[in-house]
Structure 1
Amino acid sequence: MFEFDWPWMFLLLPLPFIVWKWLPPVRKNRSAIRLPSTYGLAESSPGSGRRWLWLSLMSLCWLMLIAAVAKPQWLGEPLAVRAEGREIMLAVDLSGSMEIADMQLDGRSVDRLTMVKHVLSDFIARREGDRLGLILFADTAYLQTPMTYDRNTVKQMLNESVLGLVGERTAIGDAIALSVKRFRDDDESNRVLVLLTDGQNTAGNLTPEQALELAQAYDVTI
């Protein structure tokens, strides 16, 4: 559904006419900033087509400015929110070893990341009422999708992830620490990190043991 968040801004539409109508005319010897591209149009005689073209152009610009300030927005269908929902962060390994095609999916060999996407797609679809987030990690960890009830967006961001996007190594500790950081300012309970990786920690600023202590301190279940 399309709507304007501040529709009352359209009350400003007649403002230029009011200013032109009631303010005293500007004297000829008064300095002013003029736009070279419209100067000739503005100085045309009142009944000329060039003057009407200039007025139409300025009116259109004013209308577009007011429409932008009124904050146009598209609103989707409302999402049901359950108070007992969990906070779940998904942390997915994008290191080089995830490219190994040693998984079987529908009778064909696929790489490990493809299998992770397949399994998580079903997991995400079942998380109605839960808030989900997505972290991708390899040489480092970064937040791909902040916590949201929009499961379709989380699934889309996961499916669009590619190997080599963040490097070749595996920063498990950093992925855990980043998850805890995103949970830290949230008062919700049932905070869960789902960590999907096939390797050992080979990069990052924190070891998994240090990150685990941090997760325990903030009551995050891994």
Structure 2
Amino acid sequence: MIAFEWLWAFALLPLPLLARGLMPRARQTRSGALRVPFFRDLAEAGLATPGARRGKALRLLLLTLVWALLVTAAARPAYRGQPMPVPVAGRDLMMAVDLSGSMARDDLSLDGILLSDRLSVVKSVVDEFVARRTGDRVGLILFGSRAYVQAPLTFDRKVVRELLASASIGLAGPETAIGDAVALAVKTLRDRPEGQRVLILLTDGASNSGMLGPLDAAELARQAGVKIYTIGVGADRLPGGLGFGQRIVNPSADLDEATLAKIAALTGGRYFRARDGRGLAAIYDDIERMEPVTGDPLFLTPTVSLFQWPLGLALVLSLAFAVALARPRFAARPAAEAAPPAGEGARP
């Protein structure tokens, strides 16, 4: 249906009549006129036409139409479609991903296939998780020796996924600044509605860099109402050694699980341990169940603005009116130039 956003604009329609009635009339100079008693006979014979009154009426009608079109355009007509339900998430979700040098270890597998490094598995799992968060505001923090907001909170999940896919190991430095990543997430989320602030922190080591300690940052998060889910990534058993002797090495020996568990407990979240890609995917599934995506739907009415059509038609009619007014003047010039000067007669 077509509706007008500024319906009150139609109150301007009688404005020209009010201006005509209130403003003083211009003075008119009277000149002599010749009364022709047989004018009707001349008109019937086609030798004269009463076009002055008819032309004046047509001009008045044209100007009235132009004014009505301008007022209609000012009323902002728009076509409104049927209301469409839009899923609304009750969460502002920040994800902090570790890009330190230890994320290059190739000890994680996904679907039984050994991948080159931990970050590749993390990218694959997190990408699927973000793709399912329809309607959520999702942001991305990348941290190493320093923490950076790679993507602020946004509904454009495609951009977040592309930025995560382009991240590389060591981009933010070789070390791990967990406290700075948490503090940066708190700064980003603190202006969002309470009860909807969530941070998912993923790392494979212990905090060994940054200006703020992890537990101090967790206290700030608790005061700001930010719930933190922490995920420790890395296998805990990996065969190694050379020759006849083999030993079992723990590639996640530097993972500070105790601190990650305290961060989660202090903020009302939960700590998870991911030893392979399948376990990491299951963790994100658990977080998705604990932090549901959709709430009560909102209804969005698609609207297409139509003001340009009456405005364009008014412009075309105004140009046609201007051309019609100027045409008699240009037509009169050749006739005036062709007329002989007064008093000059024809020579024999």
Q: How high is the TM-score relative to the length of structure 2?
A: 0.40
SS of alignment partner, residue 173 of structure 1:
helix
TM-superposed CA distance for 1:117, in Å, is 0.3
The CA RMSD measured in Å over matched residues stands at: 1.7
Q: Which residue of 2 aligns with 1:98?
A: 103
- Residue 116 of structure 2, aligned match among 78, 88, 110: 110
What aligned pairs does 1:1-222 form with structure 2 within 5 A after superposition?
A: 82-106=87-111, 107-187=113-193, 189-222=195-228
Residue type of the alignment partner of 1:166: A
TM-superposed CA distance for 1:166, in Å, is 1.0
Residues 154/84 of structure 1: CA separation in 2 closer, same or farther (3 Å cut): closer
Q: Is the 8 A contact 1:94 1:137 kept in 2?
A: yes
Q: Is the 8 A contact 1:173 1:210 kept in 2?
A: yes
Residue type of the alignment partner of 2:107: D
TM-superposed CA distance for 1:188, in Å, is 5.1
Residues 160/216 of structure 1: CA separation in 2 closer, same or farther (3 Å cut): same
Deviations 1:160-209 (A, max 9, x none): 00011111000000000000000112235321100010000000011110
Identity across the alignment (%):
52
SS of alignment partner, residue 115 of structure 2:
strand
TM-superposed CA distance for 1:85, in Å, is 2.5
Residues 191/81 of structure 1: CA separation in 2 closer, same or farther (3 Å cut): farther
Q: Is the 8 A contact 1:87 1:189 kept in 2?
A: no
Q: Is the 8 A contact 1:140 1:171 kept in 2?
A: yes
Q: Which residue of 1 aligns with 2:37?
A: none
TM-superposed CA distance for 1:108, in Å, is 2.6
Aligned pairs, number: 144
In 2, Cα distance between equivalents of 1:120 and 1:84: 18
Residue type of the alignment partner of 2:124: H
In 1, Cα distance between equivalents of 2:89 and 2:201: 22
SS of alignment partner, residue 200 of structure 2:
strand
Long gaps (5+) in structure 2: 1-84, 229-348
SS of alignment partner, residue 121 of structure 1:
helix
Larger Rg: 2
Residue type of the alignment partner of 1:104: S
Q: How high is the TM-score relative to the length of structure 1?
A: 0.62
